[in-house]
Structure 1
Amino acid sequence: MTTFNFEEAKRTKITALFVSLLYILIISSLIGLKTENWIIVLAFNACIWLSQSSRKFILAFSIFIFFAIIYDLMKVYPNYRVNPVDIGGIYNFEKSLFGFNYHGAIVTPNEFFALHHTTFFDLLGGFFYLNWIPLPVAFAFWLYFKNKKQFLHFSLTFLFVNLIGFCIYYLHPAAPPWYVAKYGFDFIQHTPGDTAGLGRFDKLLHANIFGSLYSRNSNVFAAMPSLHCAYPLIAFFYAFKSNVKSMKWYFGIVMVGIWITAIYSGHHYVVDAIMGISCAGAGILIFQFVLLRIRAVKTFLSAYEQLIT
């Protein structure tokens, strides 16, 4: 049973206010404040001040808030300013590995699906793709209330895999398949996000679900690795590790569905998906068999678990 520590709570509240003010100043000066930035700040501080339980909850989920902030800050210095964007190279590489003859021409799987798609698979694929963030976040909620240790392992692995992926984005910026289909092989700076094949899902439902999501895209030249394909694998692994029988099969189906939809919708090449899956696998292995054996990491995790319990 934990006891309430007034001085510790006071220090946490003061620290939260300082961090929030620093966040507002940085975001406003670099990219400008938006509604979602204020929502993050208000929700964070409300949980910090409301009660001991809400304070522990938001300190735990600060891992995901940190991820969201880093993703947002990628707008400050896009990866295409660091290295040239791979447009034609990755397209030709995809075609050399997975291209096939169709009516006398070699086409990529994306190009084939752009010509051959059905209402059923448009709806099914849209459903799968909508799970790419809600699924790991919902699983994190479940783990938080059931197993704090596994929650931290899952959440920090999620963050670690994202950091690996972000580094690759800057080392090797790459255009998605829909970019080639829409703009060709010329680099066009400040290209807006695009729903590609997922736009068919929006039209079928007469909604702007994916249109709204992709309008907030930090950088369209970040197709490889596909982190859409990485996230469900992380959730699937920790569902097995936590022995959650009711979830792991659902996670497995959604995982494969997202992998296929990433290609079917024209958002990723097969090589993007393979790299995303490899990125998740590498992140899981490094976290489980390297980082967890480092004494400083174990001490940090123990202290973090005590803080949120």
Structure 2
Amino acid sequence: MTATHLNSSSNNKNIVISTDRLLSMLSSPQRWSLKTVSYVAMGILLTFDFMIIRSPPFLVRLALAVLLASSTMIPYIRRFTVPAMPIFTWLITFYANQFIPADYRPGHIFVNILPSLERILYGANLSEIISKHQHPILDVLAWLPYGVIHFSLPFIFALALFIFGPPKSLQVFGKAFGWMNVCGVLTQLMFPNASPWYEMSYGSAPADYTIPGEAGGLARIDKILHLNLYGSSFGASPLVFGAFPSLHSGSATIEMAFLVYLFPKAWPLAIGYTMWMWWSTMYLTHHYLVDLVGGSIYAFLTFFVARRYLPKVRPECRTRLDYLGIKEVSFRSFFQSIEFRANYGYLANKCDQDQDEYEKLMHATVDMDGMPQDVLVLMEPEEKMELRLRRFDGNMDDEENMGLSYSGSSSPAEPASPTTPRTPLSFPQFPLHSKA
């Protein structure tokens, strides 16, 4: 009876301890990190999108959902899909907007608030003024950034960031780009506003969700190209009244912010391209200047959050391979570099700490028999640190450390030798190493 009672008490005690530990884990603020919150938000959004989308059919949507979810668990594929998941969430959410019933949308569509703010802040409707002076050459100059570069630049810049940027910078860019657009689409959905083309076509008449979208100035591009490309695409837009914020401006701003991060001297190009995009959107009557400023604010706020996760750019490294210590420059080397992961923030801090300790060892003052003595420590020449990459096929997340370790070249300390009062060999805080 006594043994049984003791075992029962022990089990109850273990249950209490386990319950307390579980409650502490659930209530711990460290468990609810920014990454965890982002995953929960994406799960809620994608579940909502899956429920309201009516095309393609249910079985096709289910297969695509299972395929997307399983791709985050496959060791190699997940290295692409996990960082790109915010982008997938943005695209799917934007597509799902067309299936939201009008009863579940905001009841009022703002028609006059943006042009009124335009006149209050800037003294005039700049979009109306800029769009009055039309010419085929200006049409093409406005079409290039708005209708061509805007859709191709994210892929081109992602490739450049992969080749020339430090590892993990591309993943940070993908997540920041996706979340900036997700926040923009949700704002457009909950705060619907009409674009300048609506004011030119309907004036100040109240708007409703049965009004189709228009291509604005891009209709002139369709005439030049003898196509119905933009007329059909904007006419079937899932989000017609999404003037604020301008995601064209937001995308250009966040891309240029990452460009300046990678190449600081490219800031004139960044400002020039952003201003070009601003002019084209107003010339084509798709956005007010208020929308453009709002889109850039969304981009800057997102970049300031993402900047803390960006690895440090090292001026001596020209390509991704230099960061990884790979000397052979080839397509195969770049492809194989995808298989390796590294916590470069930890590596950089470790190198800085080692360098500080080396500098401390160069000169020191110690007490020898009660007398202060200046000690000069001889050290081996500093060489370029080599990295040994370890293959890792496990199911790790992108923010975890990659199999990266140092490959030292120093041999054990020299054997003891006769010393003088000024020789630091007898002090453990001054180890001497020599080449093998």
The normalised TM-score by structure 2 is: 0.52
CA-to-aligned-CA distance 1:171-201 (integer Å, 9 cap, x gap): 4221111111112221132222211012112
Give the SS at the match of 1:111: helix
What CA distance in whole angstroms lies between the structure 2 residues aligned with 1:200 and 1:256?
A: 22
CA distance 1:157–1:28, shift in 2 (3 Å): closer
Residue 230 of structure 2 corresponds to 210
Question: How many residue pairs were aligned?
Answer: 264
What CA distance in whole angstroms lies between the structure 1 residues aligned with 2:306 and 2:128?
A: 37
CA distance 1:89–1:78, shift in 2 (3 Å): farther
Contact 1:148–1:305 under 8 Å retained in 2? no
Larger RCO of the pair (alpha carbons < 8 Å, separation 6+): 1
CA-to-aligned-CA distance 1:237-265 (integer Å, 9 cap, x gap): 111212287x7665543322111111111
- 1:278 matched to 2:286? The reply is no
Give the SS at the match of 1:75: helix
What CA distance in whole angstroms lies between the structure 2 residues aligned with 1:28 and 1:171?
A: 19
The residue type equivalent to 1:135 in the other structure is L
Residue 141 of structure 2 corresponds to 124
CA distance 1:60–1:96, shift in 2 (3 Å): closer
Residue 109 of structure 1 corresponds to 126
Q: In the TM superposition, what is the alpha-carbon distance from 1:82 to its structure 2 partner?
A: 2.4
The residue type equivalent to 1:190 in the other structure is T
What CA distance in whole angstroms lies between the structure 1 residues aligned with 2:293 and 2:93?
A: 24
CA-to-aligned-CA distance 1:208-243 (integer Å, 9 cap, x gap): 332343234221111011111010111111112122
Give the SS at the match of 1:74: helix
Higher alpha-carbon deviation: 89-98 or 267-276 = 89-98
Contact 2:257–2:270 under 8 Å retained in 1? no
What CA distance in whole angstroms lies between the structure 1 residues aligned with 2:75 and 2:397?
A: 17
Higher alpha-carbon deviation: 128-137 or 264-273 = 128-137
Contact 2:90–2:185 under 8 Å retained in 1? no
The structure 2 residue matched to 1:91, chosen from 103, 107, 115, is 115
The residue type equivalent to 1:111 in the other structure is E
Give the SS at the match of 2:168: helix
- 1:269 matched to 2:288? The reply is yes
The structure 2 residue matched to 1:258, chosen from 270, 277, 286, is 277
Contact 2:94–2:238 under 8 Å retained in 1? yes
Residue 249 of structure 2 corresponds to 229
CA distance 1:110–1:152, shift in 2 (3 Å): same
Contact 2:127–2:196 under 8 Å retained in 1? yes
The residue type equivalent to 1:73 in the other structure is A
- 1:161 matched to 2:180? The reply is yes
Q: In the TM superposition, what is the alpha-carbon distance from 1:266 to its structure 2 partner?
A: 0.5
What CA distance in whole angstroms lies between the structure 2 residues aligned with 1:151 and 1:71?
A: 23
Residue 10 of structure 1 corresponds to none
Question: Which residues in structure 2 correspond to 1:234-245 (within 5 Å)?
Answer: 234-243=254-263
What CA distance in whole angstroms lies between the structure 1 residues aligned with 2:261 and 2:305?
A: 16
Percent identity over paired residues: 24
Q: In the TM superposition, what is the alpha-carbon distance from 1:163 to its structure 2 partner?
A: 2.8
Give the SS at the match of 1:304: coil
What CA distance in whole angstroms lies between the structure 1 residues aligned with 2:305 and 2:48?
A: 35
- 1:304 matched to 2:398? The reply is yes
Give the SS at the match of 1:84: coil
What CA distance in whole angstroms lies between the structure 1 residues aligned with 2:243 and 2:47?
A: 29
Q: In the TM superposition, what is the alpha-carbon distance from 1:280 to its structure 2 partner?
A: 0.9
What CA distance in whole angstroms lies between the structure 2 residues aligned with 1:307 and 1:183?
A: 57
Residue 66 of structure 1 corresponds to 89
Give the SS at the match of 2:149: coil
Contact 2:184–2:245 under 8 Å retained in 1? yes
What CA distance in whole angstroms lies between the structure 1 residues aligned with 2:231 and 2:108?
A: 27
Report the structure, 1 or 2, having the larger helix content. Answer: 1
What CA distance in whole angstroms lies between the structure 1 residues aligned with 2:402 and 2:51?
A: 30
Higher alpha-carbon deviation: 217-226 or 158-167 = 158-167
Residue 133 of structure 1 corresponds to 151
CA distance 1:147–1:65, shift in 2 (3 Å): farther
Please, what is the CA RMSD of the aligned residues? 3.7
Question: Which residues in structure 2 correspond to 1:2-21 (within 5 Å)?
Answer: none
What CA distance in whole angstroms lies between the structure 1 residues aligned with 2:285 and 2:48?
A: 38
CA distance 1:159–1:61, shift in 2 (3 Å): closer
What CA distance in whole angstroms lies between the structure 2 residues aligned with 1:233 and 1:149?
A: 20
Q: In the TM superposition, what is the alpha-carbon distance from 1:115 to its structure 2 partner?
A: 2.6
Residue 422 of structure 2 corresponds to none
CA distance 1:29–1:143, shift in 2 (3 Å): same
- 1:179 matched to 2:198? The reply is yes
What CA distance in whole angstroms lies between the structure 2 residues aligned with 1:271 and 1:25?
A: 30
What CA distance in whole angstroms lies between the structure 1 residues aligned with 2:401 and 2:268?
A: 32
What CA distance in whole angstroms lies between the structure 2 residues aligned with 1:192 and 1:219?
A: 10
